Amino acid sequence: MSVRGALARWLPGVQRVQVRVEQDAATLTLRVRVHEGDSAADVEVPLRG
Reported as a pLDDT band with limits 50, 70 and 90, residue 42 is very high
d(CA 38, CA 5): 23
d(CA 37, CA 23): 31
Reported as a pLDDT band with limits 50, 70 and 90, residue 4 is confident
Give the amino acid at 34: V
Confidence at residue 6, expressed as pLDDT on a 0 to 100 scale: 86
Q: What value does the mean pLDDT take over residues 23-38? A: 94
Mind listing the domains of the chain with CATH numbers? Answer: 3-48 (3.10.450.40)
Host H or E run for residue 33 = strand 27-36
Report whether pLDDT(12) > 80: yes
Confidence at residue 2, expressed as pLDDT on a 0 to 100 scale: 84
